[in-house]
Structure 1
Amino acid sequence: MQRMGHSSVRAALIYQHLVNGRDHAIAAHVDEQIKKVRPADSAA
């Protein structure tokens, strides 16, 4: 509800299918970006 800006549970449930799995995709993208900036072999 928070991320999509819905003020009611009903609205959140209607559009829930649009964001299913999105958290995982966002986290994976962030991990990729971090690895580009800080490669594992140069980590202290």
Structure 2
Amino acid sequence: MEPADVNLYLVGFMGTGKSTVGRAVAGRLGFRLVDSDHE
């Protein structure tokens, strides 16, 4: 699977762990993480 072919969006309430899960998933799959809380 090419990273350019896949986008994954995590949506939810504040404080539910979206950024933590996003970092873990991105690291595991070798994807780049874009966190809108920090952009």
Q: TM-score range by the shorter chain?
A: 0.3 to 0.5
More helix by percentage = 1
Larger Rg computed on CA atoms: 1
